[in-house]
Every structure is written in C-alpha cells, then in structure tokens.
Amino acid sequence: MSLKETILEKFNSGEAENLGIKRLFELFEAKTQVEKDAIRKIVEELESEGEIVYKNGRFVLFQNSGLYKGVVKGNERGFAFVITETNGDFFIPNKSLNGALNGDTVIVKNVPSKKGTNDEGEVVQILKRGVSKLVGTFQGENGFGFVIPDDRSYHVDIYVPFKKTRGAKTGDKVHVEITSYPENRRNPEGKVLEILGKRFDLKTEELSIIKNAGLPLEFPSEVLKEVETLPTEVTAKDIVGRTDFRHDLIITIDGDDSRDFDDAISVTKNGNGTYTLGVHIADVSNYVKRNSKIDKEALSRSTSIYFPERVIPMLPSELSNGICSLNEGVDRLTMSLIMDINSAGDVVSFDICEGVINSKKRMTYSAVQKMLDGDSEALKTYKNLVPLINNCNELKEILSKKRSNRGNIDLTVKESHITVKDGKINVEPRQDKEAYKIIEEFMIVANETVAEYVYYMDLPFVFRVHEKPSPEKLEGFKAFLNILGINVKWNAETCHPKDFQTVLDKLKDTPVFSVVNKVMLRSMQKAKYSPENLGHFGLSSKCYCHFTSPIRRYPDLVVHSILKAILKGKDVLNTYGEFCATASNISSENERKADEIERDMDDYYKCRYMRSFIGREFTGVISGVTNFGVFVELENTVEGIVKLETLPRDKYILNENTFTLEGSRWKFSLGDKVEIKVLGADTTSKRVEFLIVGCYN
C-alpha cells in the first residue's frame, strides 16, 4: 500500500480525522524533514482532490465536513450559483466567490442569508478550473489589452500583456488561453491564440461560437493519414460474400440540403398482403475498424454537429461524403435489414446481412411530398418511382397506426429551419411533411427490430433508452392537469405512454393543448445511450437502439460492429462487454453538448435575423414563465424575453405549479397568446427582447 493510500485509510478509519499537520506528523511517526515533506505533499494532494478538507485548523474527510461540492454557474451580473449533484443549488454573492469563476469545480459552505433563506453559500476551495480557453472581443489599452468574454456567465475580463496580444486590435474577436488565475481577485491573465476576425461579421461570429465550444475544425494528421489508405470506390473483391441488392429499386430520401446519405430504402408489396421493407445502412464499420485512429477520433466526437451553413462531421469527408455515403448511381457497401411486415404492422420475419447496393435515385422530402400531394409535374418526372412511393406511403400508414395504438407520445415540438442565401438569413418553422414520416417510421421499426434481435441474445449492446418521468416531475405534471380540471389516476409506477397520449388527444382542439404539450415535454426525461435496455418511454418501445446513422452517430457504428461480430460468430462478450458502457457514456455526454452548441448557434442566427424587425409587432405565445419575466415564442420559432420591469405595472408573484406570473390586475400564463413589439436583438448575448403590447386572454 502506498503512503497516499495509507494516509487516506487512516482518515477513513477515523484515526487521522480532526488532526492538524503536526499531529499528522506524529501519527505517521515522521521525524525527518524529508518524511514530513512527503506527508505534507500527500495531504495537499488529497485536499486538492477534494478527498479531505482543512477546516478550523484541522483536516477532516470531505463527507464529514458539512461542506458541499459542485460546479459554478456564473451570471453576467457577477453573482453565481453552485450546482451540486445531491444538495440542490447554492446562491453565491460576488464577494463570496473568492476567485471562483464559471465552470470551476469548488467546495462551498452554507452560510446564513440576510433574506432568511438557507440556500446561500460561500466558496471555500477551488478544486478544478473549468475554463482554460474562451472567445471574446479584444479591447486594447496602453501597452496591454483585455478580452471581454462572449459567454456572459464568465463575468470577468481576461488581462492580456502586450507581448501576448498577437497584434490584436480593438474590436477583434479572439481566441484566448488563460495562463494564470491570480489569488488576489485580479483578473485572470491570458494570451491570444488566434485572431478570428472582426466583431459582428457573420462568419467570425459563427467561428467564435465553434471555438468557444472547443469543437475541432480539423482532423488530426494521423487520422487523415489513415484515411489516405482507404479505398475511394467499391471493388469486386469488396462484395464477395455480400448479398447483392444492386438490381433492386432502392432510393434515398433526405432533405434538400442534406450533406451525407447513410440510409436507403426499398419497399415491395407482396401478394399475401405483406410488405417487404429493405433498410440499407452505410457500412461504415467496413472502413472504420475498432481502435483505429479514425475510430478513436469518432468516439471522441461521437456525433456530427450541424449548423445553418456548415457541419462539423464525426468522420472525415472522404468517408462521410465519399465511400460511405449512399450516393446515387454508385456501388456502396451496406448493413442491410430486410423485414416482412404484415397488415397489422408486425415484423413477421427479418434478415440482417452485409449487402451491396446501387441507389437508383437521390430523392428529397419535398419531391416525395409533391408526389404524395398528386403534383402532376412531380408524378411525371418520377414516373418510374410512383409504385414505390405509393407502397412507402401505405406501409408508413400501417406502421404509424400500430405505434399510435400502442401509445406512442406524439408531442408537438416546433423545430426551426434556418437558411442563408446570399448572406440573407431566413427563419421559419420546419414543415412536418408526410414524406418525413415515411423515413421516420421505417427507421423506427428498423431500430426496434435490431435492438430486440440482440437483446434476446443477451449480448453486450448500446441501447437508446428513454426512461419514465421521475416521480417528482410526474406528480408536478399531474398537479398541473388537476388545476386545469383534468383528473388522471396513474402514478409513477403505473403510468404508460398511452396515458400521456390520451391526454393530448382529448385536448387536441382546445385552447390549453399548447400549454399542456409544453408542460408534458418538460416533465419528460432526456433520452440517452445505455448498455442496459431500459426501454423507450416516448416511443412506447420495449427495446430500442440507433442503427440507421453510423456516418453521424457513434453508437450506430458500435451497433453495426456488434452485428457483424454476431454474423461472423466472433466473441462479442469479451470484445464489447466493457466498451458498450464506455461508448454509451461518452456518446450521451457529447450528444448533450452538441445539442447545446446547435441551440446556441441557432439562437445567434435567430437573433441576427430579428435585428431587421426591431420596432415591428408580432403575435406570439408565452413559452416560459420566470420570476424575472416571461418568454414569448413567435410563429417563426424565434423566442424572446419580456423583462419583468417592462410588464404592465403590478406586484407579480410566480406560481411554479401553474406556470403563472400573477399580479393583482395582470396574469401571464404559459400558453397565453400575446401581441409583442421587438425591442432589441443583442447578438453577443444571443438574446431577443420583446415588449407586450396586447393580450388575447
């Protein structure tokens, strides 16, 4: 046992608890200066790691200290919150931060509040700095400069000595690295790594968001070297042993602006009333081998990240847009799932195999939708595809009806479609076309079929799971429904997705549908990846995975690799046993970060778009209610804040149970329809500000 382990054991046993440094020397019989220095160093290490705490002149185990560990969430006004995993949040006034900054992991103590609350704290130790690099606007002074962070939650400026400015000028957007954190409350010191461009330039601001998030714009050289060794086309040797689907009528259906194509479909209608659905997915695992440089980089990214004008891919373009992309008219290797589906939507038989296809047409959702709508020009242009599209639509209806009957939750979530043409931004709601639903239904049934196949073999796997709402969230949702006069009898143990869908169906054409939809969405847990099958509550699926997008999602790539191992009789248990948990955790975390970054970028584009409408009036719906104001969402999906001080004069109280901000004369509730005027659009904070000028409720 090492000296460090021995010391920690003594603390755990209680022998070293509540001793000062001199008493610790005595306990461990340290007599020479070398021995004392060794103990002092280890004690400092344990303290910096948060294992022990120095309190009132003595060292104690952290769990016995009455202190709390958490992460600082800063605010532009200088105060902060410390978010803990088990003890809620602590409000930290600026004077009590003691040098802690946004993102830092800290130890905090609970202190009395002048307001009489018990949620105020003071930082007593900084365990780990959370931010080492950030993006901001350079402000030059005489012989030095400051970088004002774009992220307003990082509320202090970064001091940059003249020799470390790289020639940055006032107004430049820069990427800066923090080199030191002074302990005397002075600003952190840093150096400019890169000048990104001028503030307010669209490309510069987009790059700033990417850099601030720490996203890699380039692939490492060793990854690119490995890519150079891969083939650029499918050869006769590659298809040996594969099922040949090249003569089948197989097409891809994607968005007009899609950048890669990793799924293709075929549907035939059989004489016995069944349909044969082929879902052909790009065989990325044929080129990206486990533990290769490309594979390790793909895991570190876990997902492609999509912005209005660019994508940061999980895989190099030679793969994502080249040999792996199911482009029209070229041979491509696939993992193919062929399912026979009856008129009730049940998969009566299926086969998983390594295949090769040649996509006959790259179709778009808009083109397919025109065919479904009976557009004569579209039907003429794609005459040879009419029977296929009709089959697709019939099968889609069957699968959709089955999912609806079993209780799939059909939440109405308004998504944004942001486009840029000739430098002009446009924001509008994404259209929920029937053509989208064709692919959605086909991919869902494919994902379920694959997940069940591996689950019943009791082998390691990466599942896509969506757990039931937590008891607390569920009780809150039930209480909200009761306020609306909607009584439900289910609880955390007995609730079923169909119960949620029943509520939505009953309220479909009522004024409260929108607000119930929003509150229901907020009561849900977030889907994630897991090595354990926990089911998918939202889809009312007992077993689910992601199989259909290995070009842009790492879990799909793992699923393919496991399927191949099964087909070839390889040892799945020892090869993937521990790795599935690792891949699930990393992918879930990176997915969460990617979602945040994509929202951040969308907010910037929306804010820039709304600068053209300052002073204009729009109709919107209250989408959020807080103690500092309300949020209003417009039809175009842009959301803005109406600050408390701009609401009609009244003394407002926030009712969290009813999502209402209520005064003696005025009341604003989630789902209320209001008329607003656009007051401003701050692209730095990515915040649009509204003024309510009329109410409809």
Each residue of 616-656: pLDDT tens digit?
Answer: 999 999 988 999 999 999 999 999 999 999 999 999 999 88
Q: Answer whether residue 467 is part of any domain.
A: no
**Cα–Cα dist 602/579, whole Å:** 34
Q: What's the whole-number mean pLDDT along residues 13-31?
A: 91
Domain count, the chain: 5
What is the rounded distance in angstroms from the CA atom of residue 131 to the CA atom of residue 49?
18
Among residues 654, 609, 610, 650, the alpha carbon closest in space to that of 630 is found at 654
78, 194: one domain: no
Instruction: Give yes or no for residue 114 having a pLDDT over 80.
Output: no
Relative orientation angle of helices 365-372 and 434-455, to the nearest 10 degrees: 110
Res 85 pLDDT > 90: no
The SS3 of residue 633 is strand
Residue 372 burial (CB count, 10 A): 18
Assess if residue 499 is contained within a domain.
Answer: no
Whether 633 is covered by a domain: the verdict is: yes
Residues 394, 323, single domain; the answer is yes
Q: How sure is the predictor about 486, in pLDDT bands with cuts at 50, 70 and 90?
A: confident
Rounded-to-integer distance, Cα 326 and Cα 436, Å = 18
- On whether both 637 and 680 belong to a single domain, the answer is yes
pLDDT value of residue 418: 94
Measured CA to CA, the distance from residue 658 to residue 515 in angstroms comes to 10
Pair (198, 324) in one structural domain: no
Q: Are residues 407 and 323 in the same domain?
A: yes
Q: What is the pLDDT of residue 407?
A: 85
pLDDT at 3 over 90: no
pLDDT in tens, 324-363: 999 999 999 999 999 999 999 999 999 999 999 999 999 9
Residue 602 lies in a domain: no
Final residue belonging to a domain, choices 102, 128, 154? 128
**Pairing mode, strands 653-655 and 660-662:** antiparallel
Residue 15 amino acid letter = E
Q: Are residues 345 and 278 in the same domain?
A: yes
Q: What is the distance, to the nearest Å, from the Cα of residue 299 to the centroid of all Cα atoms in its chain?
A: 15
CATH number at residue 655: 2.40.50.140
Domain assignment present for residue 534? The answer is no
- Mean pLDDT, residues 486-496: 84
- Residue where a domain stops, chosen among 533, 565, 597: 597
Q: What is the pLDDT of residues 647-682, one digit of tens each?
A: 999 999 998 888 899 999 999 988 889 999 999 999
Burial of 273 (0-12, 13-18, 19+ CB in 10 A): exposed
What backbone phi and psi angles, to 5 degrees, belong to 265? -135, 155
CA 681 vs CA 203, 506, 528, 605, 678: distances in Å: 18, 38, 34, 11, 8
Q: Is residue 486 part of a domain?
A: no
State the average pLDDT for the chain.
Answer: 93
pLDDT over 70 at 153, yes or no: yes
Q: Are residues 142 and 15 in the same domain?
A: no
Question: CATH number for the domain including 30?
Answer: 1.10.10
Q: What is the pLDDT of residue 453?
A: 97
pLDDT for 169 equals 94
Mean pLDDT of 554-579: 96
Cα atoms in the 13 Å half-sphere on the side-chain side of 681: 19
Tell me the mean pLDDT in the region 552-581: 96
Contacts 24+ apart (CB under 8 A), 140-145: 140/165, 140/168, 140/169, 140/170, 145/170
The helix/strand/coil state of 266 is strand
Report pLDDT digits (tens) over 360-395: 999 999 999 999 999 999 999 999 999 999 999 999
For the residues 12-29, what does the mean pLDDT come to? 91
Amino acid at 638: V
Let me know if residue 688 belongs to a domain. Answer: yes
> In whole angstroms, what is the distance from residue 315 CA to residue 335 CA?
18
Last residue of a domain, one of 169, 192, 212: 212
State the residue range of the domain holding 357. 221-460+546-597
Over 90: is that where the pLDDT of 115 sits? no
Determine the Cα–Cα distance for residues 62 and 618; give it in Å rounded to an integer: 54
Q: Is residue 674 part of a domain?
A: yes
Check whether residue 72 and residue 143 sit in a common domain.
no
For residue 570, name the pLDDT band (cuts at 50, 70, 90): very high
Regarding whether 174 and 296 lie in a shared domain, the answer is no
pLDDT at 123 over 70: yes
Nearest to 477 by CA among 420, 409, 415: 409
What are the structure tokens assigned to 334, written together? Answer: 């696939």
Same domain, residue pair 303 and 349: yes
- Please state, in angstroms and as integers, the Cα–Cα distance from residue 284 to each residue in 303, 318, 561, following that order: 14, 12, 9
pLDDT, average across residues 76-89: 88
Give yes or no for residue 265 having a pLDDT over 80: yes
- Under a CB-based contact definition with an 8 Å cutoff, are residues 243 and 303 in contact? no
Residue 697 has pLDDT above 70, yes or no: no
Q: Are strands 121-128 and 105-110 parallel, antiparallel or unpaired?
A: antiparallel
Label residue 2 by pLDDT band (50, 70, 90). Answer: confident
Q: Is the pTM of this model over 0.75?
A: yes
The structure tokens 């901000």 sit at 661
Q: What integer is the mean pLDDT of 451-469?
A: 96
* Across 514-539, average pLDDT: 91
Cα 605 → chain centroid: 18
Cβ atoms of 105 and 130 within 8 Å: the answer is: yes
In the chain, % of residues over pLDDT 70: 99
Of the candidates 286, 292, 155, 149, which has an alpha carbon nearest to the alpha carbon of residue 220?
Answer: 292
- Domain match, 366 and 251 both: yes
Q: Which of 121-135, 196-210, 479-493 has the lowest mean pLDDT?
A: 479-493
CA–CA separation, 128 and 125 (whole Å): 9
Residues 234, 300, single domain; the answer is yes
At residue 334, the pLDDT reads 98
